[in-house]
A and B are shown apart, each in its own frame.
Chain A
Amino acid sequence: MKEKLSQIKAEALKQIENSDALEKLNEIKINYLGKKGELTAVLKGMKDVAPEERPKIGQMVNDTREEIEKVLEQHIAQMEKALRDAKMKKEVIDVTLPGKKNNVGHKHPNTIALEEVERIFIGMGYEVVEGPEIEKDYYNFEALNIPKDHPARDEQDTFYVTEDIVLRTQTSPVQVREMEKGKLPVRMIAPGRVFRSDEVDATHSPSFHQIEGLVVDKNITFADLKGTLAEFAKELFGEETKVKFRPHHFPFTEPSAEVDVTCFKCGGSGCRFCKGSGWIEILGCGMVHPDVLRRCNIDPDEYSGFAFGVGLERIALLKYEIDDMRLLYENDSRFLKQF
């Protein structure tokens, strides 16, 4: 009996060793370990064995079965791995073939610039508000210290609808509308479309965008204005950016300033981009004129504020080095796809 088992085992292991296909291994499994297999046949022959020998023989049969099973499983696993490896070898692809894109659309460069500006000011606690594009003369001019026949009206060639209604020439009227609401403190930016009767060319458009900023609170100082805009310029144009405040005049702010930033192309050493000066003008600003506050029922002895206005197209043209403003309104897909 014992010899027979050794013989079965040796024969099985030999067959396993010589197998070269998964099917053959499965065959061996059935032949030796299956219900009609050789080991089962041995167990069936137990009836001829002396009863006291039976447990011993039974144990030997099980050991043999386990041994064959173990070797068999090892071979099957090896064989399966080899097969998978071979399959994967055939599945090699050219990874340099182009990707399958979803062809997403692109934002307008103005919007990208606007979102950057909004992000910066929202982070500083400013609310984004809007005002009408067709505006009352009062809000666009009179409330901002620009009465009828003020010379400043010539500087902003205005489209009129009626004597009292204009296409707004600036986003500044939103300041007045916001202050009139009487909710203080105010920290807002107001982006939007403005209009001036300029003929279309590479640097002019009769319709463009501005972003107005306004802060009104107790103890707002000119230093706060400087600090805020310096922070803004750094965020927008890079940490190294320096700002320069030059005195200027706007009817609705006093003191007023124009702000230059160091040229982000040459860093301030002077290049063609900044016409050699090292500086690029980006915005106008100032402390809200006391008359403007008063007109909005805010007491200038108690409150002060600052305001600023940025040309959105100017930022977009500068940042993305777009050399012709007309491109912004042609909507050529080859242009838009670059942003």
Chain B
Amino acid sequence: MNTALSWIKAYVPELECSDQEYFDKMTLSGTKVEGYERLDKNLEKIVVGQIEKIERHPDADKLIICQVNIGKETIQIVTGASNVKEGDKVPVVLDGGKVAGGHGGGPLPENGIKIKAGKLRGVPSDGMMCSIEELGSGRDMYPEAPEEGIYIFPENVTVGDDAVALLGLHDTIFEYEVTSNRVDCYSILGIAREAAATFRKPFVPPVVEVKENDEDVNSYVSVEVEDKELCTRYCARVCKNIKIAPSPEWMQRRLAASGIRPINNLVDITNYVMEEYGQPMHAFDLAAVAGNKIIVRRAKDGEEFQTLDGQVRRLDSDMLMICDAEKEIGIAGIMGGENSKITDQVETVLFEAATFNGANIRKSAKRLGLRTDASGKFEKGLDPNNAKAAIDRACQLIQELHCGEVVGGTVDVCAPMKENPSIKFEPEKINKFLGTDIAKEEMLSIFKMLEFEYDEAENTVKAPSFRQDIGCFADIAEEVARFYGYDKIPVSLPSGEATTGKLSFKLRIEEKAREIAEFCGFSQGMCYSFESPKVFDKLMLPEDSEYRKAVKIANPLGEDFSIMRTLPLNGMLTSLATNYNRRNKNVRLYELGNVYLPKQVPIKELPEERMQFTLGMYGEGDFFTMKGVVEEFFDSLGMNGKTVYDPNAGKEYLHPGRQADIIYKDVTVGYLGEVHPEVLDRYDIGTKAYIAVLDMPEIVKFATFDRKYEGIAKYPAVSRDISMVVPKDILVGQIEEMIAQRGGKILESYSLFDIYEGAQIKEGFKSVAYSISFRAKDRTLEEADVSAAMKKILNGLESMGIELRS
């Protein structure tokens, strides 16, 4: 909301402060000021001058030479403007002065434009006459200014006076950010009341007295409210003999400063009152109101209605309509109808100031896709008392501005008003809550400034009807805090029972995952949780895949963000692709993020969220690099039980011969593999890429930070190497299983040290070599122990069809 400070000061006449002071103090008392702009910041040495004589420039057709009386003296000014004549009073910037902009309008230079005496085509010119644009403003604010050329003052101004003051430009426009609970502050009076309380100056609202004629409004119009839930108050007044004309300058300027274009006296008055009181009003041409009757009722489903912007709107039965005896003439609180809009020929006007159910207006505006200034206010829930005050204010202005004649009386249909609660006044409790030591009297003086009622007998306070945000103890504590000053409240730290600061076990495991990933060269990425359903096809998931059952967003930003991911792969592959596309070498990324698995489709309860630890890489390294990371991770989590890498993982998006499920103690805890070449193509990744996905909820179940010292072996180990020729289809994992199974108690470890396929090995076989180590805890092993164990192992291997090489 933008407002001139002068308008606020009109109701807080004793307010004196610098712009910055106003900015700071208002912000600290809760009326947040976003920023402000002085209208005269680049206007210097500008006075009223009167043109005494105009002559042609001897050397330029388009220039004229003016003798301008500026009070103490007469100076010569050369101008190209064609709209001035002798006798005109104009703004003149003197030598060394400053104007805000160029004569054509457009963006204003930060530091204005300096004006110096000089010569134009050889003729001395001691200053400049100004257009309204050069004064930093425009015809929106000064509609009386010519479309092109110098601004001309009315005749009654005094030559030599400060022209900037005369134009009301010694003013500052403040921009406020009003919070949604303070609907009363969407008005000049609301902000002025806050300003008065902030600066502890008297608040002087306008005195509203309506001079009305002897007629009775009831003979002009009747009002029937069918739905009192949705329309809490409907005030109607009638003004006749309307004379449409421009509104006075002061009103136009205040509106323009608030960003509202002045139109004519009638429209301007309704807008002015809307700004001043925060109460939207509507004016109907009474001649268009059939049967001189207003009915407030719900629309019928599917009905159509043309609003005054010319658009046809489709209605439903939750929308509230303003109707006459025959037809709808406006959508309540949102926009009037084309059929009853005011034209310049209007004779009699019906003013409406009503209050509606905020939630209903909000819903209707949303469904219509039509949010107006009015609906924006109504949806916050307006004060029914204010409606009456506002309509009276409008009628007062009609009469004062000679816009028309006010018919006596108001038709006022009002549901019983909701009283604000009386809240117990407990100063000690407030102090205890805030951590302050504020005197009871100070609290009471704050309440008084805010127009809260204090009932001494009952010891309660009650907020005025326009403060519907005040409902409980905490609310009045806030009022005290705001005007005592948040900055004056002391600082302390919570006392009381000590608590343990900690990470949950799950978060500690995730921390470990990050540590290991980073140690292994992987950097952390973050991907969106939502993606396109096309991802499933991209990853070649079959039509009936469980992963296609995803949580759908009802109102997504677009198809690309429309489902919640069930797999973490798309994010990882997209990130790898981004890097590949940007020619980054050897990229290793990891992500810790949730996938969302619905418990049923359509969704009825919250889906399961499973944290996934996803690793992806391309460049240096291969499948086993990735597998090594998984192994490091398991080691770090004390997961040294049996881990099986099952090649039959069945992941469509991975290379069929280079993938494995990771099975720890018979539970599948993740998978890894080389990305399927077709998938790589679809992501435009032109090199092999590897991924691993670990399902953290399962990992967390197995992880432990417990460690037990097992002692360092005292007796020597004996190691034996074996070299085998192995049928190709036997996996190293199977060989290891055999060694582990047959090695007996003294088997300490085994490690692969060579694997080879090629020329020297017969077709269909590979050469595999292992080093096997034996050790006993309690003695030095004898040759016989080792031989016996080796024999068992070798027999086992031979039974698998493995040939031993000597």
Contacts and interface: CB of A to CB of B under 8 A. Distances in A.
Q: Do A and B bind each other?
A: yes
A228 B380 CA distance: 34
A3 B432 CA distance: 111
A128 B359 contact: no
A223 B363 CA distance: 39
B606 A105 contact: no
Contacts of A319: none
A215 interface: yes
A134 interface: yes
Contact of B503 (A106, A107, A122, A254): A122
Interface string B564-594: 1000000000010011001010011110011
Nearest to B587: A333
A222 interface: yes
B30 A224 contact: no
Contact of B487 (A135, A245, A254, A258): A245
B800 interface: no
B32 A287 contact: no
B469 to A, nearest CB: 8
Nearest to B604: A162
Given A105-B517, A231-B493, A206 B526 contact: no
Nearest to A192: B594
Nearest to A330: B578
Interface residues on B, range: 35 or more
Contacts of B27: 246
B501 interface: yes
Given A123-B501, A197-B555, A223 B496 contact: no
Interface in A132-149: 132-136, 148-149
A103 B553 contact: no
A217 B496 CA distance: 7
Interface string B550-568: 0111111100010010000
B486 A246 contact: yes
B153 interface: no
Contacts of B596: 133-134
B553 A333 contact: no
Given A111-B524, A215-B494, A245-B487, A331 B589 contact: yes
B417 interface: no
Given A105-B518, A125-B501, A134-B564, A304 B494 contact: no
A226 interface: yes
B29 A247 contact: yes
Contact of A161 (B180, B506, B553): B553
Considering residues A219, A226, A257, A291, which has the most beta carbons from chain B within 10 angstroms of its beta carbon?
A226
Contact of A159 (B363, B556, B578): B556
B588 A167 contact: no
B489 interface: yes
Interface string B504-525: 1011000000100111111111
B607 interface: yes
B557 A197 contact: yes
A223 B494 CA distance: 9
B379 interface: yes
Given A151-B180, A244-B28, A248-B179, 14 more contacts: A105-B521, A124-B501, A125-B499, A133-B529, A134-B596, A135-B606, A185-B496, A207-B528, A217-B494, A219-B496, A249-B181, A254-B477, A287-B433, A289-B474
Interface of B: 27-30, 32, 179-182, 358-360, 362-363, 379-380, 432-436, 469, 472-475, 477-478, 481-482, 486-487, 489-504, 506-507, 514, 517-530, 551-557, 561, 564, 575, 578-579, 582, 584, 587-590, 593-594, 596, 602-604, 606-607, 609
